[in-house]
Amino acid sequence: MNQKYVIFTDLDGSLLKHEDYSFDEAKPTLAYIKENNIPLIFTTSKTKNECEILQSQMDIKAPFIVENGAAIYYPDGTIEQLGLQHHQIKEFMDSKVEEFQILSFSNMKISDIMEYTLFTYSQAQCAQNRDFSEPFLIHDERRLTELEIEAERHGMKILKGGRFYHCVGINQDKGLAVQSALQHYKGRVSIGLGDNYNDVAMLKVVDIPVLIPHHEGGYIDFELENLIKAPFKGSLGWHEALNKILL
C-alpha cells in the first residue's frame, strides 16, 4: 500500500449492522487497518462512552467524533468541542414536548430505549448519557419543518439519523468535525463511509466518499461526482467497499 489513508466512519448501519450492532463481517478489514496503522476515526451520533467501549472491543486507538460532530476526543485527552451543551438542547426540546408531541431520549425510560434500539440495559444507559445532543421521535413528521424553524431560532438544528432525529447545535455536523480532525492528518487521503442523511456533510468533505445502503436496502437520495456506492448494507458493505479502495 503506497498511499496513506485516514478513515472516518459512521457506526450504526455502516461499520455496525443495523439489526444487531455486530461488526463480524468487517473484522478482516479491521485487522488490515490495524496492521497498516491506518487511523480509523468513528464519526457517529453515539456518545463518548459508547465509542470508548467499541474502541476497546475493536482494539482501536484513534480520535473519535461523537454526537453528530459535537466534539472530537483525541487519545492524549484533548477534547475539541463544536456543539452546544446537552442541558441547552434539552431545555429547548422539553419546551416543545407538548406542542409537537415529541419523545426525547432524556425523557424515555431505559426500557423504552431498549425497545426502540434493541440495546442491552447497559448499552441503553450509555446511549442516554449524552453531552451535546438529544435524539427524539416526533408523533407527526409533517410538523418537522415547523420544529426545524423553532430550533434555528434557538441556535439549533435537526438531523435525521437511522432510528431517530437529533437536535444539535447549529454550528455542528460531521463534516465540520472531520475538516477539523483532518488538520492532524495532512498528506493522507481521507475516506468517509456512511449510510444516512446525517452522514452527508462528512461525505462531502472527504477525498473518497462511500455511501452504504441503509437498513431497508436502498440508498438515501444523495449524489456526488466521485461517490462510491457499497454493494451491501451494514458491515459487509463497509468491508467490501474498503477492500476495493485499500487493496
Q: Which residues of 3-37 are buried (b: 16+ CB within 10 A; e: fewer)?
A: eebbbbbbbbbbbbbbeebebebbeebbebbeeee
CA–CA dist 72, 180 (Å, integer): 9
From the candidates 10, 12, 195, 199, give the one annotated as an active-site residue: 10
Residues 185, 7: Cα–Cα separation, whole Å: 10
Is residue 99 packed enough to be buried (19+ CB in 10 Å), middle (13-18) or exposed (0-12)? Answer: exposed
82 to 19, 72, 79, 133, 184: CA distances (angstroms): 30, 8, 10, 11, 17
10 a catalytic residue:
yes
CA 216 to chain centre: 18
The H or E element that residue 6 is part of is: strand 5-9
CA-CA distance, 166 to 145, in Å (whole number)?
A: 14
What is the set of active-site residues?
10
